[in-house]
Amino acid sequence: MAPRQTARLIAALACLAALVAVAAADPLFQDLGLGTALIQANQQLQVSLGPLDLNAQCDKIKTLNAKSNKEACEFVGLVEIIILGSYNNKCNDPSTGTGAQMQPPSNGGVAPAPLTKPKKVPAEFTGAELDALLKAEGQTLAFLWVAVRNMYGFNTCSPENGGSYSGYLLPDGFTGVGGKNGVYYNKQIDTPDTVARPYVTIMKKNTTLIIVYRGTGSLAEWFTNFAYDRVKNTPFYTPENEATEKFPGAKFKGETHRGFTRVFQQLWPSIRAAIDTEVVNGNAIHLYVTGHSQGGPIATYTAYAIDRYLKRGAKYKRSKDFSLDLVVFESPLPGNTKFAKSTAKINSRNIKFINDVIAQIPCSSPKNAKQEAMPGCGALPVNTTGTNPDKPITAWPDYAPIAGAIIFTGPQMPVQQQLWAQTNNVSDINTAPQDLVAIHGCSVSCFLSGHSEDFPADHCIIEPPPFGNHTVCTFP
């Protein structure tokens, strides 16, 4: 073995050893079942000796699972650990106030504006249709994205996470709806963590109402991400709030991600109350629901639930100007094909970077894929068995994305196009976490900065030094 390869192998082993130590010491990891995956990870260390193509990992996972569920789960555990390594909830600026949050780019108050409404939202916007769409909607998409980034910024340096930020930075002219100045807190269930953290904000300006979800913001929230077994025809409400939240049709069609669904159920009463106040009994007619990463599927569930509620659960007569727009960024897949089809009438934009592996998981596959699908693993926080405990579920086929995809690539970035194009090739386990931060956290900022008149910081530079007016990738 060449000296450089040996050094990289030793470094990768040291990295994994450190992760094993963290996993052993932290109670949040003890029930994840990842210890075995880490111990077995040395079998996969050849990925540190050459590029790891992130865009090929779902095919690898499905191929492995067709041969061995054990090997597939070990590899999934390794991927999860790499993703976990990219998570950093350290507050770098614990100053008071709203800290590093930024005013969303509104182009003098033009944005946000209702999105165009095609006769049918396509599976993916491409070509001339996409160009026209970005010209018409780029400013609004950029506004919503920065509002989401600010939700991350507030959570990271909130008192709950050891910082001292006093609140979420509302865009100019907006006021918070309910909560703590519009912010609602959420405690991840099925975990040892009992801390409720800022998770969603609801804000209003004139006739516009915006619901903003952040993505994963604590180690405990990774339990939710890993709970990708599905639940069928689940109601919006929990047994505890059924009496107040049940109405005809208050359930999802098809199957949805169990972890994300549980989070939505905890938040739905607050969302529904805001809809009652501001839409049913108020004057809001332009609704936006947006979220990034984990917040993407929950935003999708929210838009679906609001649509159902206004049609069947509330005495509400829509005006001819009414609009409900769903915008998700780098969203994991929310459920199976039946659920995805049930959202088809919602005006959706599903924005994702082609090299972002998180926007590809749980790995999609047809319903008849059998074992060539996302594996059912012991790493999930609950026992993923069916009705017969002697026949454990070894695959979860039929995960599907929602419509309205806007898939952007490296050559579409304002700068460093070649570097962005190559971000799917991770050359070292040690650098993989940092690469994922750029791919998952900065790519949207960089792309949308080219479609906004006054984008505050583009985060385009992934290989310093910075140049021109471009800023270095940081997230949040």
Please give the average per-residue pLDDT across 186-203, as a whole number.
85
Q: What is the pLDDT at residue 88?
A: 63
pLDDT reading at 424 higher than 80: yes
Classify 264 as helix, strand or coil. helix
Average pLDDT over residues 299-309: 98
The span from the CA of 68 to the CA of 376, in Å, is 11
pLDDT at 118: 94
Residues 213 and 199: beta-carbon distance below 8 Å: yes
Q: How many residues does the chain have?
A: 476
- How many CB atoms are closer than 10 A to CB 344? 13
What confidence tens digit (pLDDT) does each residue in 19-37 have? 444 444 444 444 444 444 4
Q: How sure is the predictor about 97, in pLDDT bands with cuts at 50, 70 and 90?
A: confident
Among 79-88, 337-346, 423-432, the range scoring the smallest mean pLDDT is 79-88
CATH pick for 92-364+399-406 out of 3.40.50.300, 3.30.365.10, 3.40.50.1820, 3.30.930.10 = 3.40.50.1820
Provide the pLDDT for residue 161.
83
Q: Are 462 and 473 in contact (CB under 8 A)?
A: yes
What would the DSSP string read from start to end of 146-212?
A: HHHHHHHHHHHTSGGGT--B----PPTT-EE-STBTTEEEE--SSSS----EEEEEEEEETTEEEEE
Q: Which two tokens stand for residue 438?
A: 């750029």
pLDDT of residue 381: 41
Nearest to 429, CA basis, from 19, 68, 89, 1: 19
Judge whether residue 371 has pLDDT over 50: yes
Q: Which residue has the higher pLDDT, 216 or 387?
A: 216
Domain coordinates in residue numbering, the chain:
92-364+399-406
Identify the pLDDT of residue 431.
65
For residue 141, the model assigns a pLDDT of 98
User: How large is the average pLDDT for residues 380-398?
Assistant: 65
Predicted pLDDT of residue 455: 95
Q: If you average pLDDT over residues 238-258, what whole number do you get?
A: 94
- As a whole number, the mean pLDDT across the chain is 85
Over residues 151-159, mean pLDDT = 91
In whole angstroms, give the CA distance from residue 132 to residue 347.
16
- Better pLDDT: 32 or 223: 223
Specify whether the CB–CB gap between 359 and 330 falls below 8 A.
yes
Give mean pLDDT, residues 217-223: 77
Rounded to whole angstroms, the Cα distance separating 255 from 417 reads 38
Cα–Cα distance measured from residue 476 to residue 472, given in angstroms and rounded to the nearest whole number: 12
Task: Give the mean model confidence (pLDDT) for residues 212-218.
Answer: 90
* Coil, helix or strand at residue 55: helix
The mean pLDDT of 81-92, rounded to a whole number, is 68
Measured between alpha carbons, how far is residue 229 from residues 331, 375, 376, 388, 435 in Å?
17, 10, 7, 16, 28
Determine the pLDDT at residue 225: 86
